[in-house]
Amino acid sequence: MAKMTLEQLKKLREEKRGDLVRRDVEGKQIQIIVGMGTCGIAAGAKQTFDEIVKALDEYGIGNDVLIRQTGCMGLCYVEPTVEVVMPGMPTVIYGKMTSDCAKELVRKHIVEKTLLNDHIFDRPAADIVNK
Amino acid sequence: MHYALGDYVLDIAQNAVEAGSAEVRVDLDETDEAFSVAIEDNGCGMGGEELSRALDPFYSDGKKHAARRVGLGLPFLKQATEQAKGSFSIVSEKGKGTRVAFSFPKDNVDTPPLENVPALFLSLLCLPGEHELVIRRTREGGGRLLRYELSRRALSEAAGGLERGDSLSLLRKYLVSQEEDD
């Protein structure tokens, strides 16, 4: 590791501050939750997470959406999984959300408010609870 | 009890801050032969009588810490340097400030270990108060040289304060990186 300068420290602080704003819950109605259990990470959930963050910034809604990670959602066969909670839309768990689908997820679900039908998967535990 | 040289540095620097100093300077030099430390402040300072009492472990004026009956920072340090055949000096002038300097030879069995330097500097930077703290660190030996200077104000501004957990984690990263050779 090279010696860090004060300028680099300032820059790093700004970056971290951006991360904190993204993870701040205050006043945010829309949540994107990425499954990051071992299964999710092995299937590329980290890359998906990064791409979602990038897409949110591209659409200028990075500060309005809370993005966070969680453990395995029990859908290991369709990892990476992403849950989206948004007012006016059903809460959905999307599966097979590889990094190349991330932009589409943000555009369709968050911006255009339409579902990505090919990626919708149910949550088994919720089905059992709701019987 | 003191386990590392860093504990003594922290003790004396805390004294300096608590003496109402606007500026405290800490120099930490390390060579293949010795550790040398100088801590200088522009706080309230001590007169002759007060200075001799400061080295008495069984005396405390009770002003800074009302519940304490002993003041062990300086006496412990003096004792440790004598034991390790190092050096110790204290110069102080009432109303002007104090300078404490000491050194430990590295080859003496009683010389305490240095401690994790970034962790020590982080503790020094986090001593509460509005003072400026300048830390100068030099390590020379084996044909390699490490030298850097830290300013509490500049770091606080760059890291976004010294109270927040996220700032401290950035600061820790910065301090660890400074220990890389030039």
Q: What is the ipTM of this complex?
A: 0.74
Q: Write the single-letter amino acid at A77.
A: Y
Chain B touched by A12 (CB under 8 Å)? yes
Residue B42, both tokens: 């522009």
| CATH number for the domain harbouring residue A90 | 3.40.30.10
Count of domains observed in chain A: 1
Asked if residue A18 belongs to a domain, the reply is no
| CATH number for the domain harbouring residue B101 | 3.30.565
Out of A6-15, A39-48, A102-111, A122-131, pick the least confident: A122-131
* Displacement of CA B102 from its chain's centroid (Å): 10
Which range scores top for mean pLDDT: B51-65, B112-126, B161-175?
B112-126
* pTM, rounded to two decimals: 0.69
CB atoms within 10 A of CB B63: 7
CA distance A13 to chain B (A): 6
From the candidates B145, B173, B175, B181, which should be mutated to test the interface with A, based on the most A CB atoms within 10 A?
Answer: B173
Residue B38, both tokens: 């100088």
Are residues B116 and B152 in contact, defined by beta-carbon separation less than 8 angstroms?
Answer: no
Span A3-41, pLDDT tens digits: 889 899 888 888 877 777 777 777 788 999 999 999 999
Model confidence at A131, pLDDT cuts 50, 70, 90, reads very low
Q: Is the pLDDT of residue B1 over 70?
A: no
Asked if residue A81 belongs to a domain, the reply is yes
Structure-derived torsion over alpha carbons of residues B71, B74, B80, B84, reported in degrees to the nearest 10: -170
pLDDT of residue B65: 63
Cα first-last separation, chain B: 35
Nearest C-alpha in A relative to B158: A10
Average pLDDT of chain B to the nearest whole number: 88
Nearest C-alpha in B relative to A12: B170
High-pLDDT (> 70) share of chain B, %? 92
pLDDT of residue A83: 94
Residue A73, both tokens: 């959602």
Domain that holds residue B108: 5-178
Contacts of B182 in chain A (CB under 8 A): 3
Domain that holds residue A96: 28-129
Q: Is the pLDDT of residue A126 over 90?
A: no
Are residues B13 and B73 in contact, defined by beta-carbon separation less than 8 angstroms?
Answer: no
Q: Write the single-letter amino acid at B61.
A: D
High-pLDDT (> 90) share of chain B, %? 59
Asked if residue A5 belongs to a domain, the reply is no
Model confidence at B58, pLDDT cuts 50, 70, 90, reads confident
The position carrying tokens 């059992």 is: A128
Verify whether the Cβ–Cβ distance B159 to A16 is below 8 Å.
no
Asked if residue A36 belongs to a domain, the reply is yes
Verify whether the Cβ–Cβ distance B170 to A13 is below 8 Å.
yes
Contacts of B160 in chain A (CB under 8 A): 13, 17
Q: Is the pLDDT of residue A128 over 70?
A: no
Verify whether the Cβ–Cβ distance B170 to A9 is below 8 Å.
yes
**Interval A45-53 mean pLDDT:** 93
Which one of A1, A7, A17 has the shortest CB-CB distance to B177? A1
Nearest C-alpha in B relative to A20: B166
Burial (CB count <10 Å: 0-12, 13-18, 19+), residue B142? exposed
At residue B36's C-alpha, the angle toward residues B33 and B40, to 5°, is 170
Cβ–Cβ pairs < 8 A, chains A and B: 37
Span B79-117, pLDDT tens digits: 999 999 999 999 999 999 999 999 999 999 999 998 899
Burial (CB count <10 Å: 0-12, 13-18, 19+), residue A129? exposed
pLDDT of residue B118: 94
pLDDT of residue A15: 81
DSSP A76: G
pLDDT of residue B67: 58
Are residues B148 and B180 in contact, defined by beta-carbon separation less than 8 angstroms?
Answer: no
Asked if residue A51 belongs to a domain, the reply is yes
pLDDT of residue B69: 54
Span A54-104, pLDDT tens digits: 999 898 888 888 888 999 988 899 999 999 998 888 888 999 999 999 899
Count of domains observed in chain B: 1
3-state SS class at A9 = helix
